[in-house]
Structure 1
Amino acid sequence: MVLALVTSITDCRSSSKRDYFDSSFQCFAEPGWRDNSNFKKYIENAWLPTRLLYAEDNSKIKRSDIVFAGDSLVHLFLPELMVKEFPGQSVTNRGIGGDMTETLLTRIEEDALTLHPGTVVIEIGGNDFIQGKCLSLVQNNLLAIIQKIHSKNRNTKILLIAIPPTRVKELNQIVPVFNLFLNQVARTTANVEYIEVWDRMRKIDSPTLSEEFIRPNGDSLHFNEKGYELWGKKLRPYLQK
């Protein structure tokens, strides 16, 4: 339901607003979306209701060893898939479709850290680039998320999943730049690891999502169950340490 709402009110067709290589491109450094009225609808009808559900669930489960946080790619890592990929482990999903680095920063403590996880797995940033957010802004938000997590517990392990390829050209141009940044952050920050998935999920000779991961409904942004099987394979060695 959340994903359907987000898809209905976001517009990925205006390439000049998210093509970082367009000579007329101007990055967006303000809060929210370029279309503020639709951003308010998203917050009121999708983001806040989902957070209320998470708060209710958190009050019941109290703790979780592993918490996933991020955007729709995390949100679509459904419970049955998580059980399949991480059997016998205490794993909780706190993804929200449409989430950006700035909105994840505002909710990471209440939605995820209140569960006292030993590991936080994060995939975030694609929606920032759909909005044409300034790269430096997205990077600083990501660093602030890490700082907030470690301000609560410096021993919390943070796993940063690379933003995977999509079938949207403009995203596939800028995302590798951000993934390089994530890799560098992990190499220079204690208790942070980078999980590379871009290389395995792209077509062999093209910077776009491989056919084997394409969803059958024509979705250009998300991937199918095989993609989550790959995520599981990549993550398990880190979650079993």
Structure 2
Amino acid sequence: MKKILATILGVCCLLVTYAQQQYPFYNDIQAFKHADSLNKPAGNEILFIGSSSFTYWQDVQNYFPGQPIINRGFGGSSLPDVIRYADDIIFSYHPKQIVIYCGENDLASSDTITAAIVLQRVQTLFSIIRKQMPEVPLVYISIKPSPSRKRFMPVMEEANSSIKKFLRKQHNTAFVDVYHKMLNKDGTIKEELFKADQLHMKAEGYAIWQKALAPRLK
């Protein structure tokens, strides 16, 4: 019996290790689940999902007082990651609205990722959400320009434009443009908005996001 139990335990450990190796951000998702077990969301919150620009927005609630927010951004994620974990970071909650920031890491991951591919991924995520939550309002924040990724700016603009056109035709959906608000008049990036890594934002950058996003929140 002890040998059987030891074998079962060993198999379980291997499965967990395999899951961690196969799927990136496994530990991030488990951390969300643990946080929910300690303080379960009541439902009817505004749900933020996406990549590290949300992960680093730890004080997002202070920017929107009176608006209950759940932040489920996990750093470095791309749209396929958000799609993969949709059951855990979207459908396990009952949000009154969903705010998405994702796509920047997709473009930066490889020169083979085009604006058309990012659009297709956004459409896939949109369809998945709409199947289970047909009436929940969705907000997509445009891909931001980052100094460390300035070479991707042309494809970022192309992706933003195509995503905006797609969402314009969808029900109960909004596109929030932060890209152009983070540029100087000459089209260069406002580098003072960014931390030393030239990728993640300081509070001044988030202040721009807050101003652009606030009118769209329910």
Q: Same fold (TM over 0.5)?
A: yes
Whether the aligned pair in 2 keeps the contact of 1:75 and 1:97 (CA below 8 Å) is yes
C-alpha distance in 2 between matches for 1:105 and 1:41: 15
* Equivalent position amino acid for 1:55 in 2: K
2:203 is the alignment partner of 1:210: no
Asked whether the equivalents of residues 191 and 198 of structure 2 are also in contact (C-alpha less than 8 Å), the reply is: no
Residue in structure 1 matching 2:117, options 134, 137, 150: 137
Could you tell me which residue of structure 2 aligns to residue 16 of structure 1?
Answer: none
TM-score, normalised by the number of residues in structure 2: 0.82
**How high is the sequence identity, in percent, across the aligned residues?**
25
Kindly report which structure 2 residues correspond to 1:72-151, keeping only aligned pairs within 5 A, or say none. Answer: 72-78=52-58, 80=59, 82-132=60-110, 133-151=113-131
Cα RMSD of the aligned pairs, angstroms, is 1.9
Shift of 1:96: 0.8
| 1:134-179 superposed Cα distances (whole Å, 9 cap, x missing partner) | 4333221111111111111211111000011111222212101110
SS in 2 for 1:143: helix
Report the number of matched residues. 194
* Equivalent position to 1:66, from 36, 43, 46: 46
Pick closer, same or farther for the CA change 1:169–1:40 going to 2, 3 Å. farther
Q: Check the 8 A contact 2:43/2:95 in 1, yes or no.
A: yes
| 3-state secondary structure, aligned to 1:115 | coil
Map Cα deviations across residues 57-105 of structure 1 (whole Å, 9 max, x no partner).
Answer: 3342252420101111111111x2x122110221010101110111111
Q: How far apart, CA to CA, are the structure 2 residues paired with 1:135 and 1:211? A: 24
Contact 1:166 1:220 in 2 (8 A): yes
| Corresponding residue for residue 178 of structure 2 | 197
Query: Could you tell me which amino acid in structure 1 is paired with residue 57 of structure 2?
Result: F
Q: Give structure 2 stretches of 5+ with no counterpart.
A: 1-19
Residues 64 and 116, structure 1, Cα contact 8 Å, conserved in 2:
yes
In 1, distance between residues paired with 2:194 and 2:109? 23
Q: For 2:153, which of 172, 191, 196 is the aligned residue?
A: 172
Change over 3 Å in CA distance of 1:158–1:121 after alignment to 2: same
Gaps of 5+ in 1: 1-38
- Bigger radius of gyration: 2
Partner amino acid, structure 1, of 2:80: E
Deviant stretches of 4+, over 3 Å: 39-42
Q: Give CA-to-partner distance per residue, 1:192-229, whole Å, 9 cap, x none.
A: 100011111112203x42033122xx212222111111
